[in-house]
Amino acid sequence: MTSSNMWLLRPLQERSTQIFLGLLTAAVVVVTILHLATPEGSALHVSAYTVTLLGKYLCYALLAVAVDLVWGYLGILSLGHGAFFALGGYAMGMYLMRQIGDRGVYGDPILPDFMVFLNWQELPWYWHGFDMAWFAFAMVLLVPGALAFVFGFLAFRSRVTGVYLSIITQALTFALMLAFFRNEMGFGGNNGLTDFKDILGFDLRSDGTRLGLFIATGIALAVGYVVCRGIVTSKLGRVSVACRDAEARTRFLGYRVERVQLFVFVVSAMLAGVAGALYVPQVGIINPSEFSPLFSIEIVVWVALGGRATLYGAVIGAVLVNYAKTVFTGVMPDAWLFALGALFVLVTVFLPKGIAGLLQKRRKATDDDGANAQEVAA
Amino acid sequence: MSIYRLLARIVLAACLALGPMLATAQVQDDTARDLLKQLVEANQAEKLGLLKEISETGDERARGWLEAFRGGKLAVVEDTGNVVIVLNNRGRDWEIADALSGDNLGEMSRRDLETVRVNNAMRAQVDGILSVIDLTVTDPQGRLDAARNLLGDVDATLAEQLEARLAEEENADVRAMLANAIAIHRLEQGDAEAIDVLSGSLNPTARAALNTAANGDDPALAAAASKALASIEQKLKINHAAETLYFGLSLGSVLVLAAIGLAITFGVMGVINMAHGELIMLGAYTTWGMQQMLPGQPGLALVLSIPAGFLVAALAGIAIERSVIQFLKGRPLETLLATFGISLILQQLVRTVISPLNRTVVTPEWMSGSIMINEALSLTLNRLYVIGFALVVFAGLMLIMRRTRLGLEVRAVTQNRAMARSMGIKATRVDILTFGLGSGVAGLAGVALSQITNVGPNLGQNYIIDSFMVVVFGGVGNLWGTLVAGLSLGTINQILEPWAGAVLAKIMVLVLIILFIQKRPKGLFPQKGRAAEN
C-alpha cells in the first residue's frame, strides 16, 4: 500500500484499537447470533426492539467519538454537534421520504405528505436528487461538512476559540432549530420527517432490515473509530493536540493552526452526519428537537463521563448514559433530568478524566506494581 | 385604565353626589315616569321621538335609562305602572330596581313585567344619542372618548348638534376630535374644505374617509384627498418608527436586564454560569410566591419581591459558587458543563415542587394600561416600567463597580489576582460577593420578566443564549458594552421582525452576531491594556 493509506493502517497495529475493535465485533456478533439463533421467548433472545435500541446507542457512540475528536484532541468544546447530527439525519430522512412514493396518506407520487398538506404544488429545488440513494448518502457527508467548513472557516480565521466558540456553536444549533421549526423551510416543520417505508428496497419494519441497520452502524462506528484514531496518531493529530494545549505557541512555531482546526472540525462534523443518517431509519423519525441545545450539550457529557481524548471513553460514556436514560425514563421519568444534571456536576468536579481516566489509573497502578515486583525480584 | 381616567371618575362621582338640586329632580320625576312608560308601550315609530325627548330632559339618569332601553332591560310593572330596570333576567323571577329612585325592589315574576322590545336600528339610534349625552360629561377624557366614538357615524342632524357642542367646548383635544367628526361627515357630502381639517388627523376612521374620497368620482376632491393622505402616511411612518423603537428598547432593556448579571459573573469574573437563566427564573418565581403570600395586593407584593428576588437569586448563586464553581477555577469549559447540570436540576426542581405549568403573575393596576401619545402611538405602561427598571439597575451596578470599595476590589482581583491578594484583598470573599451580586441581578431580571412573559420552568432557558450573545456582542468585561449591545440587539430584532417574521428575525440576529464576531472577536467595546490578555 502507498503511504497515503498508512495513517489509516497504523491504528490497526495499536493494541488499544485492536481491543476496541475486537470487543465491538464480539458485541455485534453476539447480538446477531442471539437475535437469529435463539427462539423468541427464550431468556437469551434479543428482540428486534432491543437490536434497534442497541443500534441507536451505537449511533450515539459514533456521535460521541466525533465530539471527542474535536473536544479531546483539538480543545474545541462544540455545543452544536447535534446540528451536524441532525443535518445528516435530515438528508437521510429526505431520501426515505422520497422512497415512500405514492404510498403516503395522500398518495402523491412526488410530494411528501406534509407538502401536500401545506398545499405545495411542486417539490422545492433542494429536495431534488434525494430520490437517488447515492446522492442522498453523499449529502449526508457533504451538508454537515459544508456547514462545518463555512462556520469553522469564519470562526477559526478570526481566532474565536474557547468559551466563545462554545457559545457560538450553541447559538448556531439554536438558530437552526428555530429555522427547522418553520413550515416554510420545507422540512416538515414541527413534525419533521417520519412515516418511512423502506430503505434501498428493504422494508424498514422487518426484523431483518433492523438487524442489518444495527450491523451497518457497528461497522460505521468501527470505521469512524479507526479514522479518528488514524488522525490523532498522525502528524496532523500531534499538531492538533499542540493547538489544544498551546495554540499561540503552535502558531509561532509556524503551523497553520486554523487549517488544522478546520480540517479536524469538518471531519468530525461529517462523522456526526453519518451517525445521524444511521440514527434516522432506526428510530423512524427526524424532527427539529435534535437541534436543541440541550441534546448537543448532552453529547458533551457522554464524552466527559467516558473520558475525553481517549475515543473509546466516548463510546463507553455514550452507551452508559443512554442506557441509564432508557432505564430512568421508563422507571421514573421525572428523575432523569435530576440524574443528568447531577452527572454533569459530579463528573466535572470529581471525575475530570472520566471512566477512561479511572481505567488508566488502575492499569498504571498494576503496571507499577508489576515493575516494583520485578525490581524486587532482581 | 389611565390615571387621568381614574381621577376623572372620582371627580365625576363627587359631582354626581353633590348633584343638581334635588327639588328639580323631584319635579322631573313625574314627567320622566310618563315618558318612560310611553317608551315601553309605544310602537317603533313613536319610540324614536320619545328617546330624543328623554335625552333632552337633561336628567342625570337619562343615560342609565337609555342604556337599559338599549339592552332591553327597561320594563313596566303591569299592576302598579311603575317603571323599573331589570338587573338580572335569568330564571323565572327577575331582580328589578326602580328606574327613578334606583332602589332595589327585589325579585318579581317575569310574567308581571312588560318589557320593551328593541331592534338593531333602534340600538344604533340609541348609541348616537348616548354619545351626544356623553359629550356633555364633566370629564374631558370622557368627552374625548365620546367624540371618538362618533367618528364616521355622523349624519346631518347629528352634525348640527355637534356644531353646537363645538361652539361650547373648551378643551382643545375634544374640539379637534369634534371638528374631525364633523369634517368626516362633510367630506362624505363632498365638501373639499373638510379635507383641510382631516389632513392632520391620524385617526383610522378619518383616513378611511379620505381614502374613500380619494377613490371617489370627483377629481378635484380625489386629488386633494390623495394629497392629505400622503401627508398622513408620512406622519404615520414617523409614528410607526417611534413605536418600533419603543418596542425595540423595551425588548432591549429585557435583554440588558437578563445579560447584565452575566456581564458581571462571565465578563468580570470569567465564570461561565449556564445556570444564570435559572437564577432569572428563581427571581420570577419569587414574585409569584410573594403574590401568593399577599393575595389581593399585587402591587405591594411586586415591590417587596424586588429585594426578595435579589436575595433568593443571590443566595442560590453563592451556593452554586461555593459548592461547585470554586473547585473548577481556571477550567472554563468544565465550569460551563457543571453549571449546565445545575440549571437542569433547578429546572426539574421547579417542575417537581411547583408545577410544570406556567404560573400567572398579576400585573398591578398602576402598571397596566398604556399612555396614549396620539391616535397612532400608545406606549404600554408595563414595558415603560421595565425600561426604567433596567436603567436603574444598570446605573446601580455602575455605581457599585466604579464608586465602592467592593467594585475596586472586584476589578483588582479580576485584573491580577495574585497582586490583589498580596495587597491584602481577600480574593475568596470578593469572589463570593461578586458572584452573589451578579446572581442577585439575575433575580431582579426575573422580577421584571414576570411582568411581561409567562413564568414557567423554561423561562430561564429562553434567555440564556440571548444573554450570552449580548455579553459577547458588547465585549466581555464591559458593562457599557452590555447596555449598548442589549438595546441595539433588541431594536435590530424589532426592525427586522415586521418583514421577516419573529423566528426569522431571531435567526438573522444570531447570524449577524456570528458574522460580527468575525470582524471584532472581542465585541463592541473590547477591554484594553495588559489585563485584557487572557
Residue B95, domain extent? 3-122
In the stretch 252-281 of chain B, residues with CB closer than 8 A to chain A read 272
User: Does B342 touch chain A if contact means CB atoms closer than 8 Å?
Assistant: yes
The verdict on a CB contact (< 8 Å) between B344 and A155 is no
Nearest to B327 among A181, A301, A349 (CB): A349
In this prediction, residue B474 carries a pLDDT of: 85
In this prediction, residue A376 carries a pLDDT of: 46
Residue of B nearest to A154 (CA): B518
Nearest to B510 among A175, A297, A343 (CB): A175
Chain A partners within 8 Å of B348 (Cβ):
334, 337-338, 341
The C-alpha atoms of residue B518 and residue B533 are separated, in whole angstroms, by 19
Residue of A nearest to B333 (CA): A163
In the stretch 452-471 of chain B, residues with CB closer than 8 A to chain A read 465, 468-469
Share of chain B above pLDDT 90, in %: 21
The verdict on a CB contact (< 8 Å) between A154 and B518 is yes
In this prediction, residue B4 carries a pLDDT of: 62
Q: Is residue B481 part of a domain?
A: yes
In the stretch 128-187 of chain A, residues with CB closer than 8 A to chain B read 151, 154-155, 157-160, 162-164, 166-168, 170-172, 174-175, 178-179, 181-182
The residue-averaged pLDDT of A329-338 equals 86
When the pLDDT of each residue in chain B is averaged and rounded to a whole number, the result is 81
The answer to whether residues B224 and B195 touch, using CB atoms and an 8 Å cutoff, is: yes
In the predicted model, is pLDDT for residue B429 greater than 80? Answer: yes
The answer to whether residues B337 and A301 touch, using CB atoms and an 8 Å cutoff, is: yes
In this prediction, residue B49 carries a pLDDT of: 76
SS3 B525: coil
Confidence of residue A371 (pLDDT cuts 50, 70, 90): low
The answer to whether residues B74 and B65 touch, using CB atoms and an 8 Å cutoff, is: yes
The tens digit of pLDDT for each residue in A184-210 reads 888 988 889 988 888 888 888 888 899
Confidence of residue B283 (pLDDT cuts 50, 70, 90): very high
Supply angle C-alpha A287, A290, A293, rounded to 5. 140
Nearest to B342 among A160, A174, A345 (CB): A345
Confidence of residue A4 (pLDDT cuts 50, 70, 90): low
Residue B63 has, within 13 A of its CA and on its CB side, a CA count of: 9
- The number of C-beta contacts closer than 8 angstroms across A and B is 113
In this prediction, residue B180 carries a pLDDT of: 80
The C-alpha atoms of residue A276 and residue A88 are separated, in whole angstroms, by 5
Distance from CA of A201 to the nearest CA of B (A): 38
In this prediction, residue B20 carries a pLDDT of: 46
The tens digit of pLDDT for each residue in A232-275 reads 999 999 999 999 999 889 999 999 999 999 999 999 999 999 99
Q: Which span out of A91-95, B154-158, B262-266 was modeled with the highest average pLDDT? A: A91-95
Nearest to B333 among A166, A178, A347 (CB): A166
In the predicted model, is pLDDT for residue B3 greater than 80? Answer: no
The verdict on a CB contact (< 8 Å) between A162 and B333 is yes
Residue of B nearest to A345 (CA): B338
In this prediction, residue B23 carries a pLDDT of: 44
Distance from CA of A148 to the nearest CA of B (A): 14
Q: Which residue has the cell 320619545?
A: B50
- Reported residue count of chain A is 378
Query: Which positions ≥6 away from B376 have C-beta within 8 Å?
Result: B202, B235, B236, B239, B240, B243
Residue of B nearest to A341 (CA): B341
The tens digit of pLDDT for each residue in A67-108 reads 999 999 999 999 999 999 999 999 999 999 988 888 888 888
In the predicted model, is pLDDT for residue A5 greater than 70? Answer: no
In this prediction, residue A365 carries a pLDDT of: 75
The C-alpha atoms of residue B492 and residue B529 are separated, in whole angstroms, by 31
In this prediction, residue A22 carries a pLDDT of: 94
User: Does B511 touch chain A if contact means CB atoms closer than 8 Å?
Assistant: yes
Domain boundary among B94, B122, B150: B122
In this prediction, residue A281 carries a pLDDT of: 94
In this prediction, residue B534 carries a pLDDT of: 45
Cα Rg for chain A, rounded, in angstroms? 22
The verdict on a CB contact (< 8 Å) between B503 and A170 is no
In this prediction, residue B83 carries a pLDDT of: 79
In this prediction, residue B7 carries a pLDDT of: 57
In this prediction, residue A372 carries a pLDDT of: 54
In this prediction, residue B81 carries a pLDDT of: 74
Q: Is residue B62 part of a domain?
A: yes
User: Does B502 touch chain A if contact means CB atoms closer than 8 Å?
Assistant: no
In this prediction, residue B529 carries a pLDDT of: 58
In this prediction, residue A146 carries a pLDDT of: 96
Q: Is residue B251 part of a domain?
A: yes
Q: What is the ipTM of this complex?
A: 0.84
Share of chain A above pLDDT 70, in %: 96
The verdict on a CB contact (< 8 Å) between A349 and B511 is no
Q: Which three three-digit cell numbers place residue B389?
A: 427598571
In the stretch 276-305 of chain A, residues with CB closer than 8 A to chain B read 293, 297, 300-301, 304
Chain B partners within 8 Å of A77 (Cβ):
333, 336
Lowest mean pLDDT among A163-167, A370-374, B452-456: A370-374
Look at residues A164, A192, A163, A193 and name the one whose alpha carbon lies nearest to residue A177: A192
In the predicted model, is pLDDT for residue B62 greater than 80? Answer: no
Distance from CA of A372 to the nearest CA of B (A): 34
SS3 A240: helix
In the predicted model, is pLDDT for residue A18 greater than 80? Answer: yes
Buried b (16+ CB within 10 A) or exposed e, B451-476: bbeebbbebbbbbbbbbbbbbbbbbb
Q: Which residue has the cell 382631516?
A: B198
Chain A partners within 8 Å of B341 (Cβ):
301, 340-345, 348
Look at residues B324, B360, B322 and name the one whose alpha carbon lies nearest to residue B343: B324
Nearest to B344 among A171, A337, A347 (CB): A337
The verdict on a CB contact (< 8 Å) between B341 and A343 is yes
Distance from CA of A244 to the nearest CA of B (A): 13
The answer to whether residues B434 and B268 touch, using CB atoms and an 8 Å cutoff, is: yes
For testing contact with chain B, the best of A163, A183, A329 (most B CBs within 10 A): A163
Q: Is residue B183 part of a domain?
A: no
DSSP secondary structure, B70-106, as one string: HTT-EEEETTT--EEEEEE--SSEEEEEETTT--EEE
In this prediction, residue A38 carries a pLDDT of: 83
The residue-averaged pLDDT of A211-216 equals 94
In this prediction, residue B58 carries a pLDDT of: 66
Q: How many domains does chain B have?
A: 2
The tens digit of pLDDT for each residue in B93-134 reads 777 887 777 777 777 777 777 777 777 777 777 777 777 777
The tens digit of pLDDT for each residue in B375-427 reads 777 888 888 999 999 999 999 999 998 899 988 998 888 888 889 999 999 98
The verdict on a CB contact (< 8 Å) between A341 and B465 is no
In this prediction, residue B369 carries a pLDDT of: 79
The verdict on a CB contact (< 8 Å) between A337 and B345 is yes
Query: Which positions ≥6 away from A223 have C-beta within 8 Å?
Result: none
Nearest to A174 among B333, B345, B465 (CB): B465
Task: Give whole-number Cα distances, B346 to A99, A302, B274, B286, in Å.
Answer: 44, 21, 11, 14
Q: Which span out of A338-342, B369-373, B410-414, B516-520 was modeled with the highest average pLDDT? A: A338-342
Residue of B nearest to A346 (CA): B338
Q: Is residue B145 part of a domain?
A: no
Domain boundary among B92, B122, B152: B122
Q: Which residue has the higher pLDDT, B515 or A237?
A: A237
The tens digit of pLDDT for each residue in B299-322 reads 899 999 999 999 999 999 999 999
Q: Is residue B129 part of a domain?
A: no
Confidence of residue B1 (pLDDT cuts 50, 70, 90): very low
In the predicted model, is pLDDT for residue B19 greater than 50? Answer: no
Q: Which span out of A62-66, A132-136, B326-330, B474-478 was modeled with the highest average pLDDT? A: A62-66
Spell out the domain ranges in chain A. 3-336
The residue-averaged pLDDT of A169-185 equals 88
The verdict on a CB contact (< 8 Å) between B336 and A166 is yes
Q: Could you tell me the CATH number of the domain that includes residue B392? A: 1.10.3470
Residue of A nearest to B462 (CA): A174
For testing contact with chain B, the best of A68, A160, A245, A344 (most B CBs within 10 A): A344
Nearest to A345 among B324, B347, B515 (CB): B324
Chain B partners within 8 Å of A343 (Cβ):
341
SS3 readout for B222-275: HHHHHHHHHHHHHHHHHHHHHHHHHHHHHHHHHHHHHHHHHHHHHHHCCCCCCC
